[in-house]
Structure 1
């Protein structure tokens, strides 16, 4: 092989390696920036993860949380409402621009609690979970955009980059940066028994103790979801 060809190949390979290294560093730096800008964000709703980012052949650019009808939906961080309207596809939807430059979207709501131009604090109720627009069940469709929302959603990022990885079927808690209870589990009270209060449901008791309705029913040999005030439920630490 002629010497000049060898030199050209060496230069090309070196450039490719350098490009790969720069790309890897850019990704790492980007992850670090995301973490720093969103480290105190809170999860927008309680429920069960029903779909994740980039499913449906890459067209699903958000995180779906299924829950009870008209459950409160909260702003993940303080910001300004850029849009609050009824969309043909998103249904009742709220867009919030945050000081860090990120924009979040809260879609398929049963109703909205804020208006365009309004400043909202972190944890502010922005709407209520529903199934409006192109939706097949009660859930919140939550999007995060690193920059403004655009119709092609080119700035969309996976919410798991902010809150940590989750999976369909996983129960999540609202108004916490640790929606899966990974870090808080060791500090959550785990009594041997819990006395049902008026207004309690198996769902909110399960959320409080970071367990599932199925486990509660199994531990207490319940055949239905009906419980009564004053009833004592066994809570196991597993």
Structure 2
């Protein structure tokens, strides 16, 4: 009888221990799933312009692309351990980093890698330089975020905007900044401002001339760290009267409908020829 009681007590103790382990395990999983992505306080790894977003290319783009100058620094978004650092035919020079939060980030197409596998890195540490290695059409950083770990099938991939805030193609992001604000929201904060889409051949100086502004003012309004801009980029500028070119328009017809001459329009817009194209933004009147 005594032996039976001992066995029963042992069985009860084992059951309690197993139950606690299961509950503890479930709680750990629940806590991991309950991580508030928006409060991770990760920083943008590089300065540049967003040129592609998560889910494009028929759902096969598993990160975001940030176009920047070759050789400009790429920083790690948060503390972590380098899990991979190598050259891939697709990713080019690429670095994988596992973070304390359980997520893994990928930094691809680098011109140079500054870290090795197993190395511990701190948030903001320079892990490489922007490049165009591997399967790349131009200098940019391809950034991916994966829950738990990266896999070949990328079933754990997450949209980085869930962490950094909703961005858009054409938006400039600054390295080391925690969050971004859509360009339109930034424009709304400046009285009498508008959004201008950079066109081929534009420079910050030519845009400043069009809008009776200065390069410094445009850089400050848009948090630009240098004067590099690319077609399609969105900039906050002083509001002026503009006209969107339609199919069949000519510089002469637009000028006539606004009580101007074609030469005046060319001078206002810094246009050298009479050639215009649909969707081009023409400034009609400056402040």
- The corresponding residue for 2:26 is none
Q: Secondary structure at the match of 1:143?
A: strand
- What is the TM-score when the length of structure 1 is the normalising length? 0.66
Report whether the alignment pairs 1:52 with 2:53: yes
- Larger mean Cα displacement after TM superposition, 92-101 or 202-211: 202-211
Give the CA deviation at 1:111.
0.5
**Unmatched 5+ residue regions in structure 1?**
1-28, 186-200, 224-238
- The corresponding residue for 2:129 is 128
- The corresponding residue for 2:37 is 35
Check the 8 A contact 2:75/2:124 in 1, yes or no. yes
- The corresponding residue for 2:222 is 210
The 1:40–1:215 alpha-carbon spacing in structure 2 relative to 1, beyond 3 Å, is: closer
- The corresponding residue for 2:196 is none
- The corresponding residue for 2:76 is 75
Residues 179-190 of structure 1 correspond to what in structure 2 (within 5 A)? 179-180=180-181
Deviations 1:20-79 (A, max 9, x none): xxxxxxxxx99862426x521111111100000010000000010001111111000000
**Unmatched 5+ residue regions in structure 2?**
1-30, 187-202, 206-214, 230-234, 241-267, 271-287
Residues 1-238 of structure 1 correspond to what in structure 2 (within 5 A)? 33-35=35-37, 38-180=39-181, 208-210=220-222
Q: Secondary structure at the match of 1:33?
A: coil
The 1:207–1:125 alpha-carbon spacing in structure 2 relative to 1, beyond 3 Å, is: farther
Tell me how many residue pairs correspond in the alignment. Answer: 181
- The corresponding residue for 1:26 is none
Give the CA deviation at 1:166.
0.8
- What is the TM-score when the length of structure 2 is the normalising length? 0.55
The 1:94–1:215 alpha-carbon spacing in structure 2 relative to 1, beyond 3 Å, is: same
Check the 8 A contact 1:110/1:127 in 2, yes or no. yes
Q: Secondary structure at the match of 2:37?
A: helix
Q: Secondary structure at the match of 1:57?
A: helix
CA RMSD of aligned residues (A): 3.5
C-alpha distance in 1 between matches for 2:168 and 2:33: 20
The 1:85–1:208 alpha-carbon spacing in structure 2 relative to 1, beyond 3 Å, is: farther
